[in-house]
């Protein structure tokens, strides 16, 4: 079942017999990459401008100086070639981590990921231990080509694992778990969180298991299922709802494929009401899959309809006021939760 983390985003230091450090989201990913490269000489990085420049968002800053050009490889602007090279290297025993400068451009490698990497274990019995990582999401006025949430394209593909952390602690633990995994993992990093959050991260080796959700807030009146940046908007909404006597439980999925059904179903049995919040557009989004799983498995536990708060079915606007209107907001979550709690 989901891991309970009531003091999110700060984790209690007494849980760990190691030094804790305050790290930003981007620092935590960098530390996870660094530690895995120190631990395993087969781990290497490749992507656009990740070497001397340190990456567009400076995730890989300093790694080129430490590990050199043979393990931190600058590539041409050719996402298909980046992922194809990573797949080939993995079949030769290496563990590549491929960066998409913006996750939007993963579409250029879609065939390699879905038709080859995801299916190779099934067709040849061999693993493809690659990680494809990069920044996703809006909120920074990046426009329609640098702000997308692409998870729905990939959670439909058997053979992949899809991860999107929301805290620095999880970002480090999940990137380490992804690198060690013997199957292809897509690792989505919400760019809005890179330098806007900071929490306590153990200065030592640990992983966050892929496939396990986290309980970010306990509550008995309704369940909010979410991930990425929307975790924070949901937490803010939950504090407003608490003042009205409504206690919302917040489930942070962390892993989008495979979903943690046990955590979802246990929370539904507890609260009887469910809201799903995600930044991705509505039609064909992950909310629909979650809703039908709950309906098929624990329908009798529901005391109201499952509702979803998502972005509308349009490209992400560049204009700041339009982008704000496009993205799910705290007020929408609060209003929908009020309605659902009274149902």
Residues with active-site annotation: 146
Cα 95 from Cα 98, distance rounded (Å) = 10
Task: Compute the distance between CA of residue 105 and CA of residue 221 in angstroms, rounded to an integer.
Answer: 40
Rg (alpha carbons) of the chain, rounded to whole number: 20
Interior/surface letters 105-121, b for 16+ CB within 10 angstroms, e for the rest:
bbebbbebbbebbbbbb
User: What's 185's DSSP letter?
Assistant: E
DSSP sequence for 283-319: TT-HHHHHHHHHHHHHGGG-SS--EEEEE-SSPPPSS
226 close to 277: Cβ distance less than 8 angstroms: yes
Pairing of the two strands 248-252 and 214-217? antiparallel
Query: Using CA atoms, how far apart are residues 58 and 53, in angstroms rounded to an integer?
Result: 8
Nearest to residue 64, comparing CAs of 74, 75, 76, 56?
74
Structure tokens at 313: 């079915």
Q: Is 122 left (phi over 0), alpha (psi -120 to 50) or beta?
A: alpha
> Cα 194 to the chain's mean position, in Å?
12
């Amino acid at each position: 079942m989901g891991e309970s983390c009531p003091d999110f985003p700060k984790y209690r230091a007494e849980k760990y017999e190691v030094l804790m450090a305050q790290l930003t989201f981007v620092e935590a990913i960098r530390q996870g990459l660094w530690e895995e490269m120190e631990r395993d000489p087969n781990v290497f990085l490749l992507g656009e401008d990740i070497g001397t420049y340190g990456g567009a968002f400076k995730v890989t800053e300093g790694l080129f100086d430490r590990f050199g050009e043979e393990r931190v490889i600058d590539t041409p602007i050719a996402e298909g070639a980046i992922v194809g090279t990573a797949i080939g290297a993995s079949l030769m025993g290496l563990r590549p981590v491929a960066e998409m400068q913006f996750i939007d451009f993963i579409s250029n490698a879609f065939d390699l990921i879905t038709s080859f990497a995801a299916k190779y274990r099934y067709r040849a019995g061999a693993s493809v231990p690659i990680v494809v990582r990069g920044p996703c999401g809006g909120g920074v006025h990046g426009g329609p080509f640098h702000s997308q949430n692409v998870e729905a394209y990939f959670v439909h593909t058997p053979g992949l694992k899809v991860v999107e952390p929301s805290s620095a602690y999880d970002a480090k633990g999940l990137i380490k778990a992804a690198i060690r995994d013997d199957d292809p993992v897509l690792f989505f990093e919400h760019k809005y969180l890179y330098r806007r959050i900071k929490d306590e991260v153990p200065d030592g080796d640990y992983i966050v298991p892929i496939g396990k959700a986290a309980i970010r807030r306990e509550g008995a009146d309704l369940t909010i299922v979410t991930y990425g940046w929307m975790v924070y908007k949901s937490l803010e909404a939950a504090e407003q709802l608490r003042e009205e006597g409504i206690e919302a439980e917040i489930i942070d999925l962390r892993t989008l494929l495979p979903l943690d059904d046990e955590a979802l179903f246990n929370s539904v049995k507890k609260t009887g009401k469910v809201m799903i919040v995600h930044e991705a557009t509505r039609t064909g989004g992950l909310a629909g899959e979650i809703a039908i799983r709950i309906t098929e498995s624990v329908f009798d536990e529901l005391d109201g309809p499952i509702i979803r708060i998502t972005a509308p079915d349009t490209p992400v606007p560049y204009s700041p006021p339009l982008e704000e209107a496009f993205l799910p907001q705290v007020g929408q979550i609060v209003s929908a939760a009020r309605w659902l709690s009274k149902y």
